[in-house]
Structure 1
Amino acid sequence: MRRPSVVTVGNFDGVHLAHQRLLRSVVETARQTDAAAAAVTFEPHPARVLAPERAPKLLTPLERKVRLIEEQGIELLVILPFTREFSCLSPLEFVSQVIMEKLRAAVVEVGPNFRFGHGQAGDVALLAELGREQGFRTEVLPAVEVRGERVSSSRIRELLSEGRVGAAGRLLGRPFAVYGSVVRGIGVGSKQTVPTLNLAPYEEQLPKRGVYVTQTKVGRETYESVTNVGHKPTFGEHRLTVESFLLNFSGEVSATAMEVEFLHRLRDEMKFPSPAALKTQIQKDARRSVRFFRLLKLFRQRQTQSFAPARGE
């Protein structure tokens, strides 16, 4: 690096509100000091190397995480390959080799629970001490809370596993979403119930099995939708799938990729006595979803009006 940097380090899974605040702080400090705004993250997630049996499913796969971090204004994103050899770096070696040699850090900004080095031996106190020795300033930002709840990736995963997608979205600062290719389903939807778009098998974090009000993005278009996360028990047990029924849409979709944003949970996935009974329930789900979107639009209109300046101001 030719110029000093302001640096933060983390997994940043989900790039949630606490991550966003930290990243924006790095950008602002860098702007004030004429330094580069830099972030360091790891691939794969360290737990997948050190304890794969306990490794969490990701909220944001790498490609999406990179985009979300860059949207916060970060100039330089360093993605370090995480290996067992790398995990053996002591706190001092990590600071010397990564923070100073690679990035010439003038300021390092982290959250209150930041740990680093072999066995997570380093904490914010040690980071500050090493900073004084090696010439960088350490700034520790406070935890972020939303409605009295501390924002963290692990808490967001818990909420999703309970189906509480609205609460998870509040901590993320946006709806929780999954992404992937569009694949052919088992063929029963268009023939016996309703036509759906099927997401390719997804190995990362999903909400609890059930039916949700969603928005499905296909190409440049976004459609109001109802999405099922489950095993299609009415038609026998199948692999876990994510399939969206697009509301107020007819025709063919030619796009090869889709993104599903989860807004509200409607119900558990159920086994119905017949495809006809399932189709009737899907139609009820669709009507509830249409009402949800109608109320959402009304709420947003009132919000906009409440913030609009009065005439003459």
Structure 2
Amino acid sequence: MNVYRSIGDLPAPLDRSVVAIGNFDGVHRGHQMIIQRVRERARELQAVSLAVTFDPHPVAVLHPEYAPKLITPMAQRLALLAETGLDAALVLPFTHEFSRLSADDFARGILRDALHAAEVHEGDNFRFGHGATAGLAELKELGQQLGFAVVAHGALRIRGIDLSSSQIRRIIADGRLALARALLGRPFSVRSTPAHGRGIGSKLTVPTINLAPYADLLPPNGVYVTRMKIGTGAAARVFNAVTNAGVRPTFGEESFAVESYLLNFEAVDLSEQTPLELCFLARIREERRFPSPEALKAQILRDVAWAQHYFRRAGLI
């Protein structure tokens, strides 16, 4: 998938395109449904299939106090969009100046003049233009004037839930990982690098690894069944794990960490730049303070047994 970071990065001339516009946080099954239709129509029209997204999230610019923690930060979002088979993604820098662009200017300057849109596919709650004052009705009217069709898609409904990124964020924040998996179409995961120190050298030689500080969405503090992917491509290694996300209150000084104990551990090459992906599969329990390190150790053994049972049932052992 070609990634363009501004209108100026687009190739000239760009073939006509079939476009979907949105934040695509999570690239959930609703997004996937729209993107699949975009790809189908692009093939039929011999056009480029293209997603337009924004960086940073518009709320982070316009109302930073309400900015959501993201399911998928931009690098992960683009990787997931690439997996859908799209031809290209355009990442528009979202600024205060950009937010003042009228709906008419957006449709003319971006959809018609820059992207040569033949069709635009959107969810039926789509809003755009200065102050988000325009919606699908206005987009369809502009399309009639400017020469592109607009296709509306109703929200995909799964397990009685109308899919949206904001709904999935709440579900993950509540620790309902099985439901999040059903809505995302994959386990919720975070991508990061190792924290400084603790077994980091030319090799990881202990079965415990911490994520570097992570600013985006995590499930609530607690203990989880997880899988840790270390590295990328053919050299990547995947370990079953038990992960504690929290402040480790038993040891006095409380500081937040995401710490994973690798169950099928073997020494592996690692640096502070090695890519990590931690998939959250199931919640075992809440985090709590234990009366002694020995009591904590006994609980960890029970947590590991719970996780091993999960992995056996899932065919992952």
AA matched with 1:274: S
Aligned in 2, Cα 1:106/1:20: closer, same or farther, shift over 3 Å? same
Equivalence for 1:242:
258
Q: Which residue of 1 aligns with 2:27?
A: 15
User: With structure 2 as the length reference, what TM-score do the two structures score?
Assistant: 0.89
CA displacement 1:40-69 (0-9 Å, x = unmatched): 100110011000000000111111111111
Question: Unaligned stretches of 5+ in structure 2?
Answer: 1-12, 200-205
The answer (yes or no) to whether the contact 2:243–2:259 under 8 Å persists in 1 is yes
Contact kept, 8 Å, 1:6 with 1:106, in 2: the verdict is: yes
Summarize the Cα distance change of 1:242–1:185 in structure 2 as closer, same or farther, 3 Å threshold: farther
Counterpart-to-counterpart distance in 1, 2:145 and 2:293: 70
- The aligned residue for residue 208 of structure 1 is 220
Q: Are 1:127 and 2:146 counterparts?
A: no
Select the residue among 277, 283, 290 that pairs with 2:301.
283
Structure 1 unaligned runs (5+)? 188-193, 299-313
Give the Å deviation of 1:23: 1.1
CA–CA separation in structure 2 for the residues paired with 1:28 and 1:177:
28
Q: Secondary structure at the match of 2:314?
A: helix
Q: CA deviation at 1:183?
A: 1.6
- In the alignment, what sits opposite 1:159? 171
Cα drift, residue 295 of structure 1: 1.0
Q: 1:101 to 1:239 in 2, by over 3 A?
A: farther
Shift of the 49–157 alpha-carbon distance from structure 1 to 2, 3 Å rule, reads same
1:289-300 to 2 correspondences below 5 Å: 289-297=307-315
Distance 1:2 1:202 in 2: 37
Moved more, 60-69 or 249-258: 249-258
- Cα RMSD of the aligned pairs, angstroms, is 1.6
Is the 1:185–1:198 Cα contact (8 Å) retained in structure 2? no
Alignment of 1:130-209 (within 5 A): 130-184=142-196, 195-209=207-221
Distance of 2:35 and 2:270 partners within structure 1? 37
Give, as a single letter, the amino acid of the residue that structure 1 aligns with 2:163: V
Change (3 A) 1:112 1:261: same
1:110 CA drift (Å): 0.5
Give the drift of 1:123. Answer: 0.5
1:227-238 correspondence to structure 2 within 5 Å: 227-238=243-254
Structure 2 residue 31 is the aligned partner of structure 1 residue 5: no
User: Does the aligned pair in 2 maintain the 1:16–1:173 contact within 8 Å?
Assistant: yes
Q: Does 2:111 match 1:99?
A: yes
- Correspondence for 1:190: none
Q: Report how far residue 276 of structure 1 moved.
A: 1.5
TM-score by length of 1: 0.90
Q: What amino acid maps onto 1:230 in structure 2?
A: G
Q: Which amino acid aligns with 2:307?
A: S
1-side partners of 2:285 and 2:190: how far apart?
A: 19
For the residues of structure 1 that align with 2:44 and 2:83, how far apart are their CA atoms? 19
Q: Relative to structure 1, is the Cα distance of residues 34 and 111 closer, same or farther in structure 2, using a 3 angstrom cutoff? A: same
1:101-126 Cα offsets, whole Å, 9 max, x none, are 11010101001111100111111111
Q: Are 2:237 and 1:221 aligned?
A: yes
Name whichever of 47-56 and 229-238 sits farther off. Answer: 229-238
> Given residue 27 of structure 1, which amino acid in structure 2 is its aligned partner?
R
**CA shift at 1:184, angstroms?**
4.1
Change (3 A) 1:184 1:234: farther
Q: Which amino acid aligns with 1:233?
A: P
- Cα drift, residue 24 of structure 1: 1.3
List 4+ stretches of structure 1 deviating above 3 A: 184-187, 250-253
Distance 1:222 1:170, change over 3 A: same
Count of aligned residue pairs for this structure pair? 292
